[in-house]
Homo-oligomer: A and B are copies of this chain.
């Protein structure tokens, strides 16, 4: 898993039916984890909001985090980190 900050959201009206009802958040990996600060889009499963530090699972395992295990997703926010100052 990786740790990232939620930095925005994405709206997609025309999307695959299996994705309806999901929230798409843009995240950026923390510099202490990844100097390159990678950005990508993740489905939210824990009620995360912009500015929060979150735990993210990528790849096919991310499908285990939502009700529809056949949804075409490859990244999901699966936790909110309690104390970001504690990280490293």
Contacts and interface: CB of A to CB of B under 8 A. Distances in A.
B60 A61 contact: yes
Contacts of A42: 1
Interface in A61-77: 61-65, 69-76
Task: Describe A's contact surface by its main secondary structure.
Answer: mixed
Contacts of A88: 7-8, 26, 39
Interface string A49-88: 0000001011111111100011111111011111100111
A79 B12 contact: yes
Contacts of A63: 61, 64, 72
Contacts of A70: 64, 69
The 8 closest A-B pairs by CB, nearest first: A15-B79, A12-B79, A65-B72, A1-B41, A16-B78, A64-B72, A11-B82, A57-B72
